[in-house]
């Protein structure tokens, strides 16, 4: 409870009267005692009024209110929070605040709440979370005036609640995921069968010009008296295991997001693409305090299961904290050993990380462990600043030193890529904005070539 302006004004008036009494006592001593008694009476009346007003405020029934939240927010995407109050329990006017997360300063709160003429008084305000995780909302706060407007009493309504904040995957709805890679056949030409084309029977259909002799089903043709062709499709139910680096190096910020956020984008896009193709993607997080293993999913509804497990993860952080100082380094050979214990069937293993030249020995050890029964693909995230540095104009000595140092770094990094490709690894690299689609394109290319 805090005093309002009206109570402050009364106290100031009493203080001015007290000053006047001091002056009056000097000029008219005979009236001093009478004036002092009158001032004491006024002060007593104010004290009693303030006490009674405070007591009446405490005795008032608190307003009735609640908060409506969406089932989940998306990081960086504005959402709407609705506050609902029973108008019959509200004063004419009060100050409204809500204990929303502190990562958005543009909610428009606090504000003066005017009681509506309807049964419900509704207040909508925008909230835009800045990062993945859980958004914590505390109680709703109303500062209600006392009956005589001498005090303002804080009322807390509702209870604290948490809402998940997912990565923003709105772009995924329009992203070209599964592609039908069957080029149109031209009259008089027969296209050479690619590896993987026609390795799994799909259905029988009418003969079409351009179908190969191998596609004609002679038994069905004999029964129907007309040419019938077999239609094939790429193999399905292949297993894709995404090895997601949760180490400290992916905590590097890029604009308002981290490399880990972009790695999650790539992992989800690849998983959705694989499910659309009939394959089964799974995910394992490594080099993070939080252990996560999601076995290969069977259908696209499993993406919700995957998303619900990865959205609160932070790169390199100790569980339950946002402190990256004690984060873990990326350990590829340990991740490979753990994966082989969890998954013993053949799979396409997709490692999403940010490679550095000194990863060479550890990474090649991991490749040797995995490649016995698996095909390996690596998504390597490039820093946008380093990509821009390769095209920077040199105008000073400092610029020349930076470009030269980066050139040496890139030479060693390219040498690591060459060693990986020599070992049979498919390497796809790109900036954070490019990686998701490049990795998906590399997966589609392997699938078309029948090399999964």
174 belongs to a structural domain = no
For residue 319, pLDDT beyond 50: no
For residues 338 and 432, membership in a common domain is answered with: yes
Q: Which of 96-110, 292-306, 330-344 shows the lowest mean pLDDT across its residues?
A: 292-306
Residues 327, 345, single domain; the answer is yes
Q: State the DSSP code for 451.
A: -
279 belongs to a structural domain: yes
The pLDDT, as a whole number, for residue 205 is 84
Same domain? 92 vs 162: yes
Comparing 19-23, 150-154, 171-175, 285-289, the range with the smallest average pLDDT is 171-175
Report the pLDDT value the prediction gives residue 185, as an integer from 0 to 100: 36
- Which residue matches tokens 């020995």? 361
Span 262-299, pLDDT tens digits: 999 999 999 999 998 889 999 999 998 888 999 999 88
pLDDT at 389: 85
Give the pLDDT of residue 2.
92
What string of DSSP letters covers 254-305?
ETTEEHHHHHHHHHHHHHHHHHHTT-EEEEEEESSSS-EEEPPPSSTTHHHH
Last residue of a domain, one of 233, 256, 278: 233
56 pLDDT band, cuts 50/70/90, is very high
Same domain, yes or no: 291 and 428: yes
Residue 133 Cα to chain centre, angstroms: 6
Residue 327 has pLDDT above 60, yes or no: no
The pLDDT value given to residue 171: 63
pLDDT for 244 beyond 90: yes
Residues with Cβ within 8 Å of 194's Cβ and at least 6 positions away in sequence, in order, are: 448, 449, 450
pLDDT: is 190 or 431 the higher one? Answer: 431
Q: pLDDT tens digits, residue range 182-193?
A: 433 333 333 344
Distances, alpha carbon 129 to alpha carbons 52, 74, 324, in Å: 44, 7, 20
- pLDDT value, residue 182: 40
Is 444 inside any structural domain? yes
In angstroms, the CA 322 to CA 102 distance is 15
Residue 222 clears pLDDT 90, i.e. is over it: no
Q: What region, left, alpha or beta, does residue 203 occupy, with left being phi > 0 and alpha being psi -120 to 50 degrees?
A: beta
Q: What is the pLDDT of residue 174?
A: 54
**Are 245 and 329 members of one domain?**
yes
Provide the percentage of residues in the chain whose pLDDT is more than 70.
89
Q: Any idea what DSSP says for residue 238? A: -
CATH code for the domain of 297? 3.40.50.410
Number of domains in the chain: 4
User: What pLDDT is stored for residue 289 in this prediction?
Assistant: 84
Residue 13 lies in a domain: yes
Picking from 212, 233, 254, the residue at the C-terminal end of a domain is: 233
Same domain, 372 and 401: yes
The answer on 7 and 103 residing in a single domain is no
219-227: average pLDDT: 87
Identify the helix (H) or strand (E) that includes residue 230: strand 228-233
Helices and strands, number each (H, E), in the chain:
10, 21
Given a cut of 80, whether residue 26 has pLDDT beyond it is: no
DSSP bridge partners of 216: 229
Same-domain check for residues 227 and 324: no
Shared domain for 334 and 376, answered yes or no, is yes
With a CB cutoff of 8 Å and minimum separation 6, the contacts of 38 are none
* 385 lies in some domain: yes
- What's the pLDDT at 225? 86
pLDDT exceeds cutoff 90 at 169: no
**pLDDT score of 422 more than 70:** yes
Residue 246 and residue 328: Cα distance in Å, rounded? 8
Residue 195 in domain: no
Q: Do 290 and 350 belong to one domain?
A: yes
CA 210 to CA 187: how far, in whole Å?
Answer: 7
Question: Which phi and psi (to 5°) does residue 71 adopt?
Answer: -60, -30
Query: Where residue 72 sits, what CATH number does that domain have?
Result: 2.60.40.10
Q: Which domain holds residue 7?
A: 2-59
The Cα 227–Cα 322 span in angstroms is 66
345 and 218 in a common domain: no
pTM of the model: 0.73
DSSP string, 60-128: SPPP-EEEE--S-EETTS-EEEEEEEEGGGS-SEEEEEE---TT---S--SEEEEPPSSSEEEEEEEE-
Q: Which two tokens stand for residue 396?
A: 């000073």
Q: Helices 360-370 and 397-422: crossing angle, nearest 10°?
A: 20
Residue 403 resides in a domain: yes
Helices 332-342, 360-370: crossing angle, 10 deg rounding: 20
The whole-angstrom separation of Cα 288 and Cα 328 is 6
Q: What is the mean pLDDT of the chain?
A: 86
pLDDT at 326 over 80: no
Q: Which of 59, 80, 106 is the last residue of a domain?
A: 59
Residues 10 and 146 in one domain: no
């Amino acid at each position: 409870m805090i005093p309002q302006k009206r109570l402050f004004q009364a106290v100031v008036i009493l203080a001015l009267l007290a000053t006047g009494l001091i002056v009056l006592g000097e000029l008219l001593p005979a009236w001093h005692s009478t004036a002092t008694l009158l001032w004491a009476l006024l002060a007593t009346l104010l004290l009693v009024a303030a006490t009674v007003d405070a007591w009446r405020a405490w005795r008032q029934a608190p307003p009735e209110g609640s908060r409506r939240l969406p089932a989940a927010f998306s990081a960086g995407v504005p959402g709407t929070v609705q506050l609902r109050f029973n108008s019959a329990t509200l004063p004419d006017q009060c100050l409204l605040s809500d204990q929303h997360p502190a990562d958005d300063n543009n909610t428009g709160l606090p504000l003066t709440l005017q009681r509506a003429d309807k049964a419900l008084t509704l207040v909508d305000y925008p909230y835009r979370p800045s990062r993945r995780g859980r958004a914590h909302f505390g109680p709703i706060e109303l500062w209600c005036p006392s009956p005589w407007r001498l005090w303002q009493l804080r009322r807390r309504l509702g209870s604290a609640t948490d809402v998940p904040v997912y990565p923003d995957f709105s772009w995924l709805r329009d992203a070209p995921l599964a592609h039908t890679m069957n080029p149109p056949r031209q009259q008089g030409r027969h296209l050479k069968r690619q590896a993987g084309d026609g390795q799994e029977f799909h259905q029988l259909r009418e003969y079409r010009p351009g179908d190969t002799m191998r596609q004609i089903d002679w038994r069905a043709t004999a029964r129907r008296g007309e040419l019938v062709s077999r239609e094939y499709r790429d193999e399905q139910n292949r297993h894709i295991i995404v090895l997601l680096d949760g180490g400290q190096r992916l905590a590097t910020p890029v604009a308002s997001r981290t490399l880990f956020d972009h790695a999650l984008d790539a992992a989800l896009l690849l998983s959705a693409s694989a499910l659309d193709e009939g394959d089964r993607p799974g995910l394992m997080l490594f080099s993070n305090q939080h252990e996560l293993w999601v076995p290969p999913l069977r259908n696209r509804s499993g993406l919700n299961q995957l998303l619900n497990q990865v959205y609160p993860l932070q790169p390199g952080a100790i569980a339950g904290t946002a402190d990256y100082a004690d984060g873990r380094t990326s350990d590829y050979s340990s991740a490979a050993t753990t994966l082989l214990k969890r998954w013993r069937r053949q799979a396409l293993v997709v490692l999403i990380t940010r490679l550095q030249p000194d990863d060479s020995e550890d990474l090649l050890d991991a490749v040797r462990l995995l490649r016995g029964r698996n095909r390996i693909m690596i998504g390597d995230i490039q820093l946008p600043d380093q990509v821009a540095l390769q095209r920077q104009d040199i105008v000073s000595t400092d610029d020349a030193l930076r470009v030269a140092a980066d050139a040496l770094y890139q030479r060693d990094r390219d040498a690591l890529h060459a060693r990986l490709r020599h070992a049979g690894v498919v390497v796809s690299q790109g900036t954070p904005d490019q990686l998701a689609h490049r990795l998906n394109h590399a997966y589609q290319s392997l699938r078309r070539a029948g090399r999964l």
